Amino acid sequence: MPGVPSGFSSGEGTLTREGRNAPACPVCGSHVLTPVFDLPMMRCRGCGLVFRNQAGAQEQVRGGFEVIYGDLEDEQWVQERRHPLYAAFLARCRPVPGKNRLLDVGCGSGKFLRLARAANWDVMGTEIAEAAVQAARAVGLSVRLASLPTADLPECSFDVITLWNVLDFIPDPLEHVRAARRLLVPGGLLVARVSNLTFQSAVYRVSRRLRPWPRLGAPVAKQHFMSQVGFNARSLRCTLERAGFERIEISNSPPSYGDPYRTLPRGGDTALQAVKRLIHGAAWMMAACSGGRALWGSSLLATAVKGGGPGARGD
């Protein structure tokens, strides 16, 4: 086992609390943690969340996104490969008179917001990277430079709130999900897409086994992703439940097209898309055969409703 962080003792791979400054799971508050992948990554034995036990993580994330959005070419490449995901969602979830206010959290330069606006949603966004906010405002979008809990938005002011691959980058996901619930009208819909820890863990293990063969192992290792937190279906459901949401549904999300992060040489886009289709097909079959309990897709898609109203539904 890697070195044990200060304030903990180890026993059979489990870390137990020793002292007032010992870290706690940001979702369920458990102090029973196991080091996973490489420190400072820790897994909560209570809810299954994996999180990065590191001070100043959010500022590091903010700085990284400022660099990305300083040159929008890479971000536009990623967003174009998510276009089918956005289009499929907007085809299912349509605005109705009086229920057309949509907030996109971590909206980047506004690709999804532009599509939603074209589909007759009254849209707004929040974003922590100033360069992205400037790019979104340049195309006429209303975007606040703030994290969701600090955005100073009125309670019960949105019918739908979306977080497309945002919760993975937030050290305090429960606080953000609770903030989203406050901003939703009764019956409002939360939509969150995250990387699936179950899949990412499997890719990580395969890449480690392939290390003796770098030409095979290196491309596989580039497909493993872990930012500030990692969700499996259990920890994602726990987060939404603790925030007070109801009617929670979690499923395998279709993957984004091809190679959105340019991890492979030229031509890898098409090859990776073929692999993704095979994996998603297998994951879909496993979910169908298990009644939705076995979710092995590369990403998860969660929907949840704030109680007290009819809720926004896809047609």
pTM score, whole prediction:
0.88
Please state at what angle helix 111-118 crosses helix 72-92, rounded to 10 degrees: 30
Structure tokens at 157: 């002011």
- Cα-flanking dihedrals φ and ψ of residue 5, to 5°? -60, 155
| Positive/negative CA dihedral, 183, 185, 186, 189 | negative
How far is residue 285's CA from residue 56's CA, in Å, rounded to a whole number? 41
How far is residue 277's CA from residue 267's CA, in Å, rounded to a whole number? 17
pLDDT at 14: 43
Which residues are CB-contacts of 109 (< 8 A; sequence separation ≥ 6)? 69, 72, 75, 76, 79, 132, 135, 136
Stretch(es) of the chain classified as CATH 3.40.50.150: 57-306
Residue entry with tokens 């179950």: 198
How far is residue 239's CA from residue 23's CA, in Å, rounded to a whole number? 18
Give whole-number Cα distances, 131 to 74, 152, 164, 261, in Å.
13, 20, 19, 19
Alpha-carbon Rg for the chain, nearest whole angstrom, is 20
pLDDT at 22: 63
From first to last of its 315 residues, the chain has per-residue pLDDT tens of 233 333 333 333 444 444 345 689 999 999 999 998 876 889 999 999 999 887 766 777 777 777 777 777 778 888 888 999 999 999 999 999 999 999 999 999 999 999 999 999 999 999 999 999 999 999 999 999 999 999 999 999 999 999 999 999 999 999 999 999 999 999 999 999 999 999 988 888 888 888 888 887 777 777 777 788 999 999 999 999 999 999 999 999 999 888 887 788 877 788 888 888 998 999 999 999 999 999 999 999 999 999 976 544 443
Tally Cβ neighbours within 10 Å of residue 35. 21
The matching CATH number, chosen from 3.40.50.410, 3.30.365.10, 3.90.1150.10, 3.40.50.150, for 57-306 is 3.40.50.150
